[in-house]
Structure 1
Amino acid sequence: MFKGLCAFPLTPLIAGEIDERTFVSLITNLAEARVDSIGALGSTGSYAYLTRAQRLRGTQLAVTAANGIPVMTSIGAVRVEEVLNLADDAQQAGVSGVLLAPLSYQPLGGDEVYELYSRVVRELSVPLCVYDNPATTGFSFSDELLSAIAGLPGVNSVKLGSLPAEREEARVRIAALRRKIPAHVTIGISGDAQSARGLLAGCDVWYSVLAGLFPQYSRILTRAAQAGDEEKVNQLDGALEALWVFYRRYGSLRVIATVAELLGRVQTPCLPFPLRTIQGGERELLQQKLNLLNLY
């Protein structure tokens, strides 16, 4: 399941509770678009803001609505006991894989992060994806640590949060990492604004926020990259630059949630308090840019 396009939908909330009907509609849209997999309750899905019961319910809804499309869900939490409980819940709900970022309050060391993954995979019966997302966790993986963790049984993918800005440097980075990890472990790119660069640099999968709302467009871009059609990838990615500007300014979650509100796909507000979607003049500007984009 760790190849191609993995779509990460929002988990829309109403007064702190999952808007189940809307959430299911978002998952159904992804299933109908035939994305390769669904990353339910990822960072875009606000997993860290949800209770254990909410995360279980959301995962159950996603697996059912996915209609056979593989579903991955996040099991990250500050305490390892909670991580293991969430992993058990996810497996009972029928997920095909889990995503784990090293969440913490106190800064973690490399040995501590390795031991976290080592302990968790011993309790899993489904594959795990390692999430390197220092912008959120405050922890940066070295290639040596990624290599060590990728060698653990049950680890099947590495989700990168950043790549060099230059395409050739990105290719070198991906090639170097690939030489250090087992052949069966895929490399994925997240951070939509760098997705085209990552795919053309040799990443196996796009862990995509955009696809959670616009799966068809994202699927076409992914397939073009898989086919080596760099011209088409550049064209599709270039058309999104107006959106990427907002991503860089506000982060992907606030932007895609604002877009979903503007399109009436979710109720307003949809994010967990105190997070807010984009407001004021910037919201109006995003609406203008969105009107010019041919997204689907």
Structure 2
Amino acid sequence: MNTTDKAVSAFVSLARPRRSFLSKFLRWEWFLVALIALVVIVNSRLSPYFLDVQNLFRASSDFMEMGLMMLPMVFIIVTGNVDLAVASTLGMAASFMGLLFNNGVNIWIAAGAALLLGVAAGLLAGYLISRLKVPALVITLGTYAFYRGMAYVMLGDQAARGYPASFTYIGQGTLPGAPVPFSMVLFLSMALIFGLVLHKTAFGRYLYAIGHNQEAVVYSGIPVARVKVVIFMVSGLMSALAGLVLAARYGSTRPDIGTGLELAVITAVSRANALRHGPAEYPG
């Protein structure tokens, strides 16, 4: 660990309040777990099919695309920013894939191109925010409209359909011999990676430090502008990935795919206690 990392670790540790074992146990996440358990018990009494394993997995698979977009949103909100364009990036990337597929491009090449487009979309937003010093709310509100408009330019009022089974498996398939959706495995794998990055790496400490006091950490040697560009690029990539999963689940793509999901994503992350510059954590 170099001098910068040590300084950031000390800064973040001072900013985080010390908790006793009892206070950790009584954190609001445990009350949320208790509330969920109560809901499960009541609903299982009301319907014998509620706790059916296939029913539970089928219901939860509908939220995997939103979960994929929530992961990088935590990074962004921890630094005191926001990305309003995640759903529009999803729609633009999925529409781009559909456009290429309709014109005879292999589905996997089209999917790869869509992921690259998502990265480029995030790069544009991150550059404007970090280099031009324009607030993220303003920039992403503009890209929110622009990217959704590009989706309509690509597909118009048409839909891309007829995706091969090898692709739709991403959104519709389950693991061999188990009812676990592949999309859930994908989300959990990504969640593990994002959690480790946020809580166990120097990059995660940079995010916390920037969120606590951006002006101070600049003098600690942290490349604030570069960090912001990276997290918005990651957000664009994950939004594009969510678009592929959603298109695979539907089996088709329309330019309005994913409309409105940005509010659900931001609300979910903020309700998980990440809007305040305190110890935002993925378990929430």
TM-score of the pair, normalised by structure 1: 0.22
Instruction: Select the structure that is richer in strand.
Output: 1
Higher relative contact order (CA 8 A, sep 6+): 2
Q: Normalized against structure 2, the TM-score is what?
A: 0.23
